[in-house]
Amino acid sequence: MNQMPLEITNFFLAMQAGPSGLALLQEMFTDDATYVEPFSGQTGAHQGPKAIAAAFAASRSDAFDDAVITLGDVAVKDDTVTVGWTCISAAIPGGQGSGTNVFRIRDGRICSLTTTLDGMG
């Protein structure tokens, strides 16, 4: 079993905090960080902490404030951390979704995050 780094634990805590966690999320990313996600329909990565925080903010709704994120398998190899997750929320079609986040960490901050979905509903 791999132990989740504190940076990743804090990321998921900030996600669970709702809108009040957005400023914390922004601080967790390096200045040159990238975020690739399936939620906005945008092709390509969001670049930099402000754009990443804006992407998180845009993908949220008031209905997502009830979200419960449960973490699954964690794999740590060098600077890469892969975490499976399940999210239960009224904001998700069918009320539940699951996916995987692949993080790269540099100097105690996230320099890359790629989110993929396994399924919704």
Strands in 2-91 per DSSP E: 29-36, 46-47, 68-77, 80-88
| pTM of the predicted model as reported, rounded to 2 decimal places | 0.88
Q: What is the pLDDT along the chain (121 residues), one digit of tens a residue?
A: 568 899 999 999 988 887 788 889 999 999 999 999 887 777 678 999 999 998 888 877 666 767 788 999 999 999 999 999 998 887 777 888 899 999 999 999 999 999 998 865 5
Instruction: Give the pLDDT confidence score for residue 30 in this predicted structure.
Output: 98
Structure tokens at 18: 């709702």
Name the pairing type of β-strands 96-106 and 109-120: antiparallel
As a residue count, the chain comes to 121
CA–CA separation, 71 and 85 (whole Å): 4
CATH, domain range 6-120: 3.10.450.50
